[in-house]
Amino acid sequence: MWPEFVRAVLVLCILLYLPGTLFLKAFRMPIGWALPTAPLISCSFIFITGEVLNILRIPAHIFLMAGVPLFIAGATYAFTHVGTHHNPAPSSHTYDDLPWQILLISVAVGLVTTTLLYVTSLSSAGAFVQGWDITHHLDVTQAMIDSQCYSSINYNYYSTPDAAIIPWQSSSSGFYPSGWNILNALATQLVHTDTTVAGNALNFVSAAILLPLSITTFIAKTFPNKRTVLLAGAFTAGSFSVFPWALFVYGPIYPNTFAFCTMPAIFWVFMQITRSKTPKHDLILLSITFVLGCISLTVLHTSTIFSSIIILFPWCLARIKQSNRRISLFGHQVKPLILVGVFFIFVILVWLTFYFVLIVRGVALSFWWNSYSDPINALIHVIGLDYVGESYAGGELVSMQPMLTLTVFVGIVWTFSKKQGRWLSVAFFYISLLCAFIISFDVPLKGILSGFWYTDPFRIAATAAISAMPLAAIGLSTLGCALFDLICKYQPRLPHFLGKRASLVLVITVFILGNYLIAMPSSKHPAPTNAFSAFKTVAVESYGDKDPLTNEEREFLRRVKNVIPKGARVANIPYDGSLWAYATNNVHVVWRYPTGYDNTEKPTSAILRKRLKDIASDEEVRSIAKELDIHYVLVLGIPSESGAIGNNYRSGTFRGILGITDDTPGFEVVLSEGNMRLYKITLY
């Protein structure tokens, strides 16, 4: 499976970077900026293609989904490069220096870090965290493949051919950000693998390539023309344990993680648009890029739009205050501070409107995480940059990072002393305090401030970490310069270039060792531990061979898939691990979710799970099973009664399947291994 993983990584890189890079290069954007920004363009082309095909009721064949975006980008590039009368003006000086060597170093560091922290935690290329959220992620992906429908508006756990066996009453699915699922589905088909392998490859690309490249553009635009800061940034992008690493286990919330990794690329685009000296021809391209980027982030995970707002809001206030443009009202010039106040109130009103329309009225999905900390303890963990502290859900994944705290603190001091990038420090302060607030209090204001992230501390902590990455980079660079000045004081004859580079390398080395080795106490761990050891311990366990779906059972599912006809419907017990059989092995099981077996369930579903064992003597059961075209029964073992899935199990819920034995009339053993069985219904 590992060769499939590598191929999936390569395919995803092509899907994410080739169309977007071609499109941006068509308008002469420098490669240093075009490459990191390309996924925003590529994803929007892919997602728009899927929605258009869905509206037109055209099956979204894999070659259409992959080919149309590439065709659009290629045609645009060819059109702008063939014939002198079509050539656009050369690129202006809009774009600050962003050397390709820095991008290469950032990706190299990202590849090494992600391999050591994430890939080595996987027990196999197809391993996955058997948690709550993964059920949705993988089932929706496989259903997209079978339905040939790649849409965030028309999505389901069940493919179109399996609509009859959906256990619940049909309802309008509405919009749900499914970008991660769409990309996973495309990679799964192009590589001929399963959704778990492609999903891990997608996670790898997001942490190893997307995040380092996108955060580099953010750093370059916030602190322009500072190569040492860019170099330091290559080592700070993956240095926060709370993001992206913890999110690969917590939930796991893969789609939100991927969206967060892509998000920083839109920051520099917006920042450049709002600069007064940006030429009109560059402004047009940047505006198109921004709109397409917003589409991508909305479909990847809508919460990243609101993360972008709170990070860039202080930038907007700073730009308004510093702008040379003057506005007159009734013959009087409006002071910049008045404009700042008006804009501030306007954004607050828009925010409140979105909150009451989307969250309060239930248009968007919402959730309320209860507080679990006191304000003092919460502030301590904000200072330690682990944010979530001793959370009852996922707190064991993180630990305080004092070396990182020092670096970020130096960066904040630099922004205020040099009066450059102060807006980012303000954004960082606000988001960090927001994280402390929501884990300490349960008041209505909590929903208003954090409802767009389901009041989830981990998602807000991820936003805080992203805002801190450039601050850590400037802090690390500042420490390197301070060391160089100290060396020059005692070794004045040392060559300037050599000494400055050696100082930065030494500081980066000390930073890496300290950040990855210094252990801190935590009530979630029996002994002091460092942040990455904490993550690694939990990740290895979470991605290991464990119940409810073991590697032995996955191998049995592989045999089941090879024995039964393609698309054959199989009755199952979801709590024995078979709820993932459809996602991992494309075995079309009936029950694919750990909840919902109550008054929202269809009567036919309830009858089958309670009485299927009586099919030989119960005419109603036999009629329903035949009508739903169910020909097989899968039993992987005794249902799990613990963990994220097993906690929802109630004894007797699936007694109609648990009661089936090798001697039950109407059933024939097809496959048998230990307690695992595949039965065929022989009565029709």
| Beta strand 676-681 pairing with 630-635 | antiparallel
Taking only the tens place, the pLDDT of each residue in 346-372 is 999 999 999 998 888 877 777 888 999
- Domain assignment of residue 176, yes or no: yes
Q: Which of 246, 281, 306 is the last residue of a domain?
A: 306
Q: Confirm whether 16 is domain-assigned.
A: yes
Domain count, the chain: 2
Average pLDDT of the chain, as a whole number:
92
Separation of first and last alpha carbons in the chain: 38
60: exposed, middle or buried (C-beta count within 10 Å: 0-12, 13-18, 19+)? buried
Residue 220 vs residues 43, 214, 526: alpha-carbon distances, Å: 23, 10, 41
Pick the closest to residue 348 from 340, 360, 337 (CA basis). 340
Provide the β-strand partners of residue 333.
328
Last residue in a domain, options 306, 323, 345: 306
Low-confidence spans in the chain with pLDDT less than 70: 83-94, 170-173, 330-331, 494-499
Closest CA relative to residue 392, chosen from 452, 456, 463, 449: 456
Q: Residue 302 gets which letter from DSSP? A: T
| CATH number of the domain that residue 582 is part of | 3.40.50
Residue 273 lies in a domain: yes
- Asked, for residue 6, whether it belongs to a domain, the answer is yes
Contact call for residues 19 and 38 (beta carbons, < 8 A): yes
Distance CA 8, CA 112 (A): 18
Are the C-beta atoms of 239 and 285 separated by less than 8 Å?
no
Residue-level pLDDT at 171 = 61
Decide if 570 is inside a domain. Answer: yes
E-strand ranges in 546-629 read: 569-571, 588-589
Q: How far apart are CA 556 and CA 534, in angstroms?
A: 33
DSSP 525-562: SSS-B-HHHHHHHHHHHHTSS-SSS-HHHHHHHHHHHH
451 inside domain: no
Cis peptide before 244 (omega within 30 of 0): yes
pTM, rounded to two decimals: 0.94
Alpha-carbon distances, residue 383 vs 371, 386, 389, 456, 517 (angstroms): 18, 8, 11, 19, 18
SS3 labels along 57-76: CCCCCHHHHHHHHHHHHHHH
Residue 652 domain boundaries: 551-681
- Phi and psi (nearest 5°) for 421? 80, 15
pLDDT (tens digit per residue) in 181-196: 999 999 999 999 999 9
Query: Is the residue at 506 inside a domain?
Result: no
CA proximity to 632, closest of 562, 559, 571: 571
Indicate the residue among 268, 288, 306 that finishes a domain: 306
The answer as to whether 317 is a domain residue is: no
> Is omega for the bond preceding 30 within 30 degrees of 0, making it cis?
no
